Structure 1
């Protein structure tokens, strides 16, 4: 059914990448259920438009592998701990989405059959076709790769039309807008410029993988109510990273 005055949807299948820190609210650690519920409602508004949605959530609110490694922990072990943290976040988001009557699957790169599905590409694609939200957890399943790289990998495998990177600010700036009043926001920026200027959109591996597959990255504010839905309809403030 077409709703009168409903804006046309710009994308049919997207991947939403958010940091683990986005789920902790003002706590400074862990999951903040009201914050997770708010993000789930934002995702629901896009799901209700008929858009097929994948998600990748970081684990930095619980454990960050690189930080653990810097404190003397062996890097591979630290990274696996970080991957497990992403599974916890994915399960928390799944609970909130299913409370909104949205069918959701948590799909882990590390098999743990009691709590989520193993990653099988064709099965994941089928879930999307059935309008289920797929939350990809445990990164790529390998140490030394970030959830940014995992998000770009899964977006390519799922044939997503764009990656939506939800952040605390409404796009990519030439410097930190919270520290510098004269910070300039880019409407569009190239992959190479992001790498050359170290703009901090995603890590270099993720940007290079997106560039090689011509996959646009949309950077927007996850704190802006209705922002995710607005951009899908071609509105709102954001930065588009493209070739």
Structure 2
């Protein structure tokens, strides 16, 4: 009887030890799985652009306001930024895998990427760097431009119908600079001798939109502006 009792007691202790070991093993496995899941990297690769789309943003830096519009058609990009008073920049180029890196004719810089919803990036104009997040917009919102007798007016029309635009009247020393000449100028010289020689003013604010065209005026004369797409190009 005593031997039987001893055997039962030993069996009970062995069973308890086995259960404890199993529980510990199960807990370690769960913790390891949780740790692996929490350390998965988050992808930062730009998303592919839609086939055709428009984006827009208002921004401010150092007390200066700027508005940008971006049109995408396939791989081609056209972007326009202006302050609605006396500064503007046009960007023409291509996007690659959802990323944009374009320098304008007047040494302004646009770098951005598409996150699947908005275009986020930086715009550098006349020494000021603006950060922006441009949301998609639909007709009739977008960028429009018109020319008359060598004068070009450009407008960014927001979804609420408000307008920001600048008129370019020429005035770059009366001639175009050769590329070799430009390369000899440092940043300060380029700003003074080329970029800031442009004659710019606020574009006419009385605009109306009709079937994808913009009706306005340049120097008091009626003009019809066309919407800017990703394939728009001019000198």
Query: TM-score scaled to structure 1, two decimals?
Result: 0.26
More helix by share: 1
Highest relative contact order (Cα 8 Å, sep 6+), 1 or 2? 1
Query: TM-score scaled to structure 2, two decimals?
Result: 0.26
